[in-house]
Amino acid sequence: MTEQEDPSRERLKNHFAQRVTHQARQILEIWQRLQANEWSPAGLTELNDANLRLLRFADRFEQPEHTELARAINVALQDMEANHSRLSSPIITELNRLMQRLSRTGLRQGDLMAHICLPPLRKPVYILLHDLERAERLAKQLEFFELNAQAFGDLTTFRHAMAERHPAAIVMDVDFSGPGRGLELAAEAQIGLEQKLPLLFFSLHETDTPTRLAAVRAGGQAFLTGTLEASSLMEKIEVLTCVAQYEPYKVLIIDDSRAQALHTERLLNSAGIVTRTLIDPIQAMAELADFQPDLIILDMYMPTCTGTELAKVIRHNDRYVSVPIIYLSAEDDMDKQLDAMSEGGDDFLTKPIQPRHLITTVRNRAARARHLKARMVRDSLTGLYNHTHILQLLEDCTFRARRENRPLSFAMLDLDHFKHVNDGYGHPMGDRVIKSLALFLKQRLRKTDFIGRYGGEEFAIVMPDTDEQSAYKVLNQIRQRFAEIHYPAQPADLSCSFSAGVVQLQNDADSLQMASQADEALYRAKHNGRNQVQHFHQLRPNATICAELQESVTPL
Q: For 303-353, what is each residue's pLDDT tens digit?
A: 888 888 899 999 888 888 889 999 888 878 888 878 877 777 888 888 888
**Residues 409, 485: one domain?**
yes
In a domain, 556, yes or no: no
Q: Is the pTM of this model over 0.75?
A: no
In a domain, 343, yes or no: yes
| Mean of per-residue pLDDT scores for the chain | 82
Active-site pick, 457, 458, 468, 520:
457
Sorted by sequence, the CB contacts under 8 Å of residue 281 that are 6+ apart come out as 254, 256, 302, 304, 305, 310
Cα separation, 215 vs 176, whole angstroms: 13
Cα separation, 327 vs 300, whole angstroms: 6
At 425-472, the pLDDT tens digits run 899 889 889 988 998 898 788 878 999 999 899 999 999 999 999 999
In a domain, 131, yes or no: yes
To the query of whether residue 238 is one of the catalytic residues in this protein, the response is no
**Residues 237, 218: one domain?**
yes
pLDDT at position 478 over 50:
yes
Alpha helices in 104-220 (DSSP H): 132-142, 155-164, 181-190, 209-217
Backbone angles phi, psi at 52, to 5 degrees: -65, -35
Total Cβ atoms within 10 A of residue 124: 19
**Residues 130, 97: one domain?**
no
- Structure-model confidence comparison of residues 553 and 68, the more confident one: 68
C-beta separation of 130 from 176 below 8 A: yes
**Residues 190, 46: one domain?**
no
| pLDDT on residue 556 | 42
**Residues 428, 541: one domain?**
yes
**Residues 416, 481: one domain?**
yes
| pLDDT on residue 540 | 46
**Residues 428, 546: one domain?**
yes
**Residues 409, 540: one domain?**
yes
pLDDT at position 4 over 70:
no
Domain ranges, residue 146: 125-241
At 231-265, the pLDDT tens digits run 678 777 776 765 555 678 899 999 988 889 989 98
In a domain, 494, yes or no: yes
* Number of domains into which the chain is organized: 4
Dihedral through CA 265, CA 267, CA 271, CA 276, nearest 10?
0
- Structure-model confidence comparison of residues 168 and 407, the more confident one: 407
Sorted by sequence, the CB contacts under 8 Å of residue 447 that are 6+ apart come out as 96, 100, 245
Cα separation, 219 vs 240, whole angstroms: 13
The β-bridge relationship of strands 458-464 and 450-455 is antiparallel
